[in-house]
């Protein structure tokens, strides 16, 4: 394992258990002075001691991995690159030391910076409104409200939990066992409909005149209306979501309360997100689905056919498989449109795209729009030398009549290259030689690659080097 200093993390673990150093030393079979030296980074964490910690406290070894800090480090770099906050900038090593030794303070700084940017953007809109006529326009108000970014708060809530909510996942798995619903059940729609009716008096109706509404539960009448065009798996998923509100509403609300959201919109969005998490966990119970995914080596299309749910649902569920002691491949899950808008971004890994500009055009999730329905794979290298395997494919949602616009997204599922061999998508790739990996970045504004021909903006942390009598491939 090499020399790994984890003083702050061991101290965090001890304090969470409300233990003294002496009590921790006794639990680990070590001397108090030895534990004290580990906590103050005088001694490194050795493999035997790591094994004692994981066995004693039931934590995964990745609890002590610096890989978990990679996104926080990237977000702290975003803060450091904001010249309004830090005109002189901060050395990367200083940022790294802050993240490693004081992760809670670093997270607080990231949160404060996000709130600061939202407030300044709102102030700019209000000032613009006064300059244009003394009142803020309705459009400006709408934009200002949008700047609270509830989806970003909810995304960070899931990320902080590695996209896995055990307090909801286990009750869903228990309910699936009670109902006799397993990950391969083709009769899920009937089973869930019977539960809703027998236990909660909900009456199911199927209608074709709902427009863009896919389902609606009227609490007053107890009628659950489902769009007729939905597939059996889609109908079952929406039933499972409503069953989550009815049977595990308190657990869902308690999980959301841990997020300390700043607005009612954020809280409502989080409630819906956790309820849909419950639905996925009910439809695809953890242990059964984990076994299926490992057996089929994470073949997404095969898993989709086998379990009767969509490609996107399988990808999303795979990104949540991080139960302690039974972890799947740690995936990052993203959904983007042709314009580069990222409507979903959830991760069980440290992968991070910056908030200071667009994503990388060399990332294969954009190429897949040219090959609809075909799975594309890409070995990619980030500027820090870390390698990833990305699997991308388009999905299309169309509920209207002919001639009305549908929705097409690219779904990306990525993991560190060291996990690629566990998947069918690693077959045929030379994972021992990653020199052919596509060099991508977190976004042009923060990317350190000088010779990228796809660069759209100059890096914000460097001066622009312009020579009147010299041209290069990159415009900056």
How does residue 14 score in pLDDT terms, banded at 50, 70 and 90?
A: confident
* Structural domain count of the chain: 4
DSSP β-bridge partners for residue 389: 379, 415
- CA dist., res. 27 & res. 260, Å (int): 33
DSSP 420: G
Q: What is the pLDDT, as a whole number, of residue 72?
A: 73
445 located within any domain: yes
Q: How many Cα atoms sit within 13 Å of 268 on the Cβ side?
A: 4
Mean pLDDT in residue range 345-354: 67
313 located within any domain: no
104, 122, 147 — which closes off a domain? 147
Give the tens place of pLDDT for each residue, 176-197. Answer: 999 998 766 668 999 999 999 9
Answer yes or no: do 333 and 473 share one domain: yes
Cα 407 from chain centroid (whole Å): 22
DSSP β-bridge partners for residue 424: none
Domain with 17, as residue range(s), is 7-64
Read off φ and ψ for residue 287, nearest 5 degrees.
-65, -45
Residue 129 confidence (pLDDT) above 60 = no
Q: What is the pLDDT, as a whole number, of residue 157?
A: 86
Beta strands in 268-341 (DSSP E): 322-323, 326-327, 332-336
- CA dist., res. 298 & res. 328, Å (int): 9
> Is the separation of the CB atoms in 333 and 314 below 8 Å?
no
Structure-token match 């003083």, residue found: 7
Instruction: Write down the pTM of the prediction.
Output: 0.74
Give the tens place of pLDDT for each residue, 249-299. Answer: 999 999 999 988 888 999 999 999 999 999 999 999 999 999 999 999 999
> Is the separation of the CB atoms in 257 and 157 below 8 Å?
no
Q: What is the pLDDT, as a whole number, of residue 382?
A: 82
Mean pLDDT in residue range 338-366: 75
Would you tell me how many other CB atoms lie within 10 Å of the CB of residue 180? 9
27 located within any domain: yes
Question: Minimal CA–CA distance to 448: which of 436, 458, 438?
Answer: 458
- CA dist., res. 158 & res. 153, Å (int): 9
259, 278, 308 — which closes off a domain? 308
322 located within any domain: no
- CA dist., res. 149 & res. 215, Å (int): 26
Which of 218-227's residues contact partners 24+ apart within 8 Å by CB, and which partners? 224/196, 227/399
284 located within any domain: yes
Answer yes or no: do 40 and 125 share one domain: no
Name the 3-class secondary structure at 306.
Answer: helix
Answer yes or no: do 383 and 448 share one domain: yes
420 located within any domain: yes
- List the single range of 115-124, 325-334, 368-377 with lowest mean pLDDT: 115-124
- CA dist., res. 253 & res. 266, Å (int): 13
154 located within any domain: no
Beta strands in 315-446 (DSSP E): 322-323, 326-327, 332-336, 342-347, 376-381, 387-397, 407-416, 438-439
440 located within any domain: yes
Answer yes or no: do 285 and 222 share one domain: yes
> Is the separation of the CB atoms in 331 and 415 below 8 Å?
yes
Answer yes or no: do 248 and 361 share one domain: no
Answer yes or no: do 335 and 453 share one domain: yes
- CA dist., res. 337 & res. 339, Å (int): 5
Q: What is the pLDDT, as a whole number, of residue 127?
A: 58
Question: Domain of 229: which CATH number?
Answer: 1.10.10.2910
Would you tell me how many other CB atoms lie within 10 Å of the CB of residue 405? 7
Give the tens place of pLDDT for each residue, 152-174. Answer: 788 878 877 878 999 999 999 99
Q: What is the pLDDT, as a whole number, of residue 141?
A: 47
Q: What is the dihedral of CA 320, 153, 67, 457, to 10 degrees?
A: 120
Answer yes or no: do 336 and 440 share one domain: yes
Q: Are strands 203-207 and 223-227 parallel, antiparallel or unpaired?
A: parallel
- CA dist., res. 325 & res. 395, Å (int): 33
Answer yes or no: do 396 and 418 share one domain: yes
Give buried/exposed letters for 225-247 (b at 16+ CB in 10 A, else e).
Answer: bbbeebeebbbbbbbbbbbbbeb
């Amino acid at each position: 394992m090499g020399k790994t200093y984890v003083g702050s993390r061991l101290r965090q673990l001890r304090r969470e258990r409300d233990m003294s150093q002496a009590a921790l030393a006794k639990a680990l079979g070590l001397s108090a002075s030895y534990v004290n030296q580990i906590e103050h980074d005088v001694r490194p964490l050795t493999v035997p001691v790591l094994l004692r910690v994981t066995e004693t406290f039931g934590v995964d070894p990745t609890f002590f991995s610096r890989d978990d800090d990679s996104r926080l480090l990237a977000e702290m770099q975003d803060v450091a690159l904001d010249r309004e906050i830090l005109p002189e900038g901060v050395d990367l090593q200083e940022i790294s030391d802050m993240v490693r030794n004081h992760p809670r303070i670093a997270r607080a700084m990231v949160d404060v910076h996000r709130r600061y940017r939202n407030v300044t953007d709102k102030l700019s809109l209000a000032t613009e409104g006064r300059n244009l006529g003394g009142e803020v326009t309705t459009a400006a108000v709408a934009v200002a409200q949008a700047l609270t970014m509830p989806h970003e708060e909810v995304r960070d809530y899931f990320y902080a939990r590695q996209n896995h909510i055990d307090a909801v996942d286990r009750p869903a798995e228990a309910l699936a066992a009670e109902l006799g619903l397993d990950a391969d059940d083709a009769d899920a729609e009937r089973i869930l409909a019977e539960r809703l009716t027998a236990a909660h008096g909900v009456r199911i109706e199927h209608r074709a005149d709902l427009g863009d509404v896919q389902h609606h539960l009227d609490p007053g009448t107890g009628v659950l209306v489902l769009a007729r065009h939905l597939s059996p798996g889609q109908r079952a998923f929406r039933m499972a979501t409503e069953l989550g509100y009815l049977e595990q509403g308190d657990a869902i609300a308690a999980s959301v309360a841990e997020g300390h959201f700043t607005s009612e919109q954020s809280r409502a969005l989080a409630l819906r997100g956790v309820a849909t998490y419950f639905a996925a966990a009910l439809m695809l119970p953890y242990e059964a689905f984990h076994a299926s995914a490992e057996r089929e080596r994470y073949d997404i299309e095969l898993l989709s056919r086998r379990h009767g749910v969509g490609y996107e649902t399988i990808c999303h569920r795979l990104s949540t498989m991080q139960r302690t002691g039974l972890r799947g491949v740690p995936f990052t899950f993203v959904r983007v449109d042709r314009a580069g808008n990222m409507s979903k971004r959830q991760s069980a890994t440290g992968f991070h795209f910056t908030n200071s500009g667009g994503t990388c055009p060399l990332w294969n999730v954009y190429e897949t729009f040219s090959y609809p329905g075909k799975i594309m794979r890409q070995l990619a290298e980030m500027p820090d030398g870390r390698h990833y395997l990305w699997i991308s494919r388009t999905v299309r949602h169309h509920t209207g009549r002919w001639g009305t616009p549908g929705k097409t997204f690219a779904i990306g599922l990525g993991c560190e290259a060291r996990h690629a061999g566990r998947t069918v998508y690693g077959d045929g790739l030379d994972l021992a030689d990653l020199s052919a990996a596509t060099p991508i970045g977190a976004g042009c504004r923060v990317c350190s690659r000088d010779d990228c021909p796809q660069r759209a903006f100059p890096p914000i942390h460097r001066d622009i080097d312009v020579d009147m009598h010299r041209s290069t491939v990159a415009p900056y």
